[in-house]
Amino acid sequence: MANACSLENRPNNTYTDELAEKFAKEVGVDPRPNEVNDELDERGAFVRQANTFITPFGDGENDLKAEADRYAIYWMHGCHWSNRPVIVRDILGLTDVIKDVATTHTGQSNVYGHGFADQKDFKDPILGAYFLSEFYKKAKPDFTGRATTPTLVDTRERTAVNNDYHRLTNYIEVQFRTLQPVDAPDLYPVKYRKEIDEFNDWLFPTVNNGHYRMAFCQSWEAYSEAYEDFYDSIEKLDKRLETNRFLFGDYITDSDIRLYVTLVRWETSYYHNVGPTKKRLTEYPSIWGYVKDLYSLPVFKKYTFFEFPKTDSKEFFVSFAARIASQVPYDELWKTDGSRKKLSNDPENVYKKHPEGETAEDYQSVISVSKWNAKDPAERDSNKRTISQDPAVNPITSKLRD
């Protein structure tokens, strides 16, 4: 079964479909639902499933509580949604606080979704599970959707507790502030959370989910709509980045991480799945410079994966990914010339410091609820997005330095 989140990250040849079937029967998990069968509307448009585990971190009675050495992020190399929280965790100095486990496909056909093909005995190295979905079933025995990455697992209770990629990075930024080093960067400034949230909630349907809307839809109407949304949005972002080193000015914010991981996957993999390409990212001068600028930072490079299937076949029409991609000198092509520094008033620093006198308690607040988790699929229609200001314009200009 195809999974557009992870084209390259395939299990080794010893993990067969027969083994996956055996393990699934042993632990009682079901086959992974298929997006094309289960997540299309009447127009043939892809409407992504809502996240199931969305209990927030916070001070409420039933909220999750930030604790050291309790949670693990389950993520996948080729899944840009799940690259986000591990990047944020690393930037904020939380690698000793929140563990992580990278998943893989299971068997040749990936019928059972995320597993651990590269681990001893094909088991999760922390909790010994065969499949990510085991943690979903433990938390919600009647769960019937797709187990997705990223998923935050409570390693004490052995259950999935949060798979809300819309807000998971914000919880790590805000509710884990007391566990961060004092001098950790500020990726989600208190004064500008409204603007960042609004931008992120626009970015989701237009760009982050744009590839999937093209790849999974089953009608020309839906394809054209997604195609135009994606490229119109890329044009706006290219315009915005003409005068801003990063999306909100001089410093990297949560939004830059969300955009970067999607652009990387698009340029190196996703475009293969969607048909005609209007323009490559290299043809958008500001975006291309922006991507290379971020790639030059060790934490971004660490979670950028140029992995492709390889073949020795000499038949006609073997894909570019199989013939050429593994030979591409990415480090050289993605090397920045440093020219984007001139757009910043603080060119040698890419992260904002927390305001002087701000306490961890000052930083903590209730995180807004994402509309993209609405139970009604009609409410998750990509056409229902709103944003109060043209995304081509940075609404806070130089204020991020305040």
- Classify residue 1: in a domain, yes or no: no
Question: What CATH number does residue 305 fall under?
Answer: 1.20.1050.10
The verdict on 289 and 373 lying in the same domain is yes
Alpha-carbon gap, residue 61 to 381, rounded angstroms = 32
The verdict on 194 and 171 lying in the same domain is no
State the residue range of the domain holding 324: 190-401
Alpha helices by DSSP H, 296-373: 298-302, 320-323, 330-333, 360-363
Nearest to 252 by CA among 108, 117, 399, 352: 352
- Classify residue 11: in a domain, yes or no: no
Calculate the dihedral angle through the C-alpha atoms of 393, 396, 398, 400, rounding to the nearest 10 degrees.
-130
pLDDT in tens, the chain (402 residues): 344 454 344 445 689 999 999 999 999 999 999 998 899 999 999 999 999 999 999 988 999 999 999 999 999 999 999 999 999 999 999 999 999 999 999 999 999 999 999 999 999 999 999 999 999 999 999 999 999 999 999 999 999 999 999 999 999 999 999 999 999 999 999 999 999 999 999 999 999 999 999 999 999 999 999 999 999 999 999 999 999 999 999 999 999 999 999 999 998 888 877 888 899 999 999 999 999 999 999 999 999 998 776 677 777 788 887 888 888 899 999 999 999 999 999 999 999 999 999 999 999 989 999 999 999 999 999 998 989 999 999 999 766 665
The verdict on 211 and 148 lying in the same domain is no
Number of domains the chain is built from = 2
Neighbouring CB atoms inside 10 A of 333's CB total: 10
The verdict on 37 and 150 lying in the same domain is yes
The verdict on 122 and 28 lying in the same domain is yes
Question: What CATH number does residue 115 fall under?
Answer: 3.40.30.10
Nearest to 81 by CA among 164, 11, 170, 186: 164
Question: What is the number of residues in the chain?
Answer: 402
Q: What is the pLDDT of residue 1?
A: 39
Nearest to 247 by CA among 120, 168, 313, 344: 344
Alpha-carbon gap, residue 78 to 269, rounded angstroms = 9
The verdict on 213 and 89 lying in the same domain is no
Residue 314's alpha-carbon distances to 161, 226, 353, in angstroms, are 48, 35, 54
The verdict on 314 and 359 lying in the same domain is yes
Which residue's entry shows tokens 């970067």? 260
The verdict on 194 and 266 lying in the same domain is yes
Tokens in use for 9?
Answer: 């990250």
b/e sequence 286-318, b meaning 16+ C-beta within 10 Å: bbbbbbbbbbbbebbeebbbebbeeeeeeeeee
Nearest to 252 by CA among 299, 205, 285, 286: 299
Domain termination residue (choose one: 179, 204, 230): 179
Q: What's the N-to-C CA distance of the chain in angstroms?
A: 49
Single-letter amino acid code for the residue at 281: L
Domain termination residue (choose one: 179, 206, 227): 179
The verdict on 141 and 206 lying in the same domain is no
CB-based contact 349:251 (threshold 8 Å): yes
Q: What is the pLDDT of residue 2?
A: 42
- Classify residue 185: in a domain, yes or no: no
- Classify residue 395: in a domain, yes or no: yes
- Classify residue 4: in a domain, yes or no: no
Which residue's entry shows tokens 């079937």? 21
The verdict on 261 and 368 lying in the same domain is yes
The verdict on 251 and 273 lying in the same domain is yes
Domain termination residue (choose one: 159, 179, 199): 179
Beginning with the edge strand found earlier in the chain, give each strand of the sheet holding 99-103 in spatial order: 99-103, 71-76, 151-154, 159-162
Q: In the beta sheet, which residues pair with residue 99? A: 72
The verdict on 221 and 340 lying in the same domain is yes
CB-based contact 244:394 (threshold 8 Å): yes
Alpha-carbon gap, residue 38 to 377, rounded angstroms = 11
Orientation of helix 285-295 relative to helix 254-268, angle to 10°: 110
Alpha-carbon gap, residue 198 to 392, rounded angstroms = 14
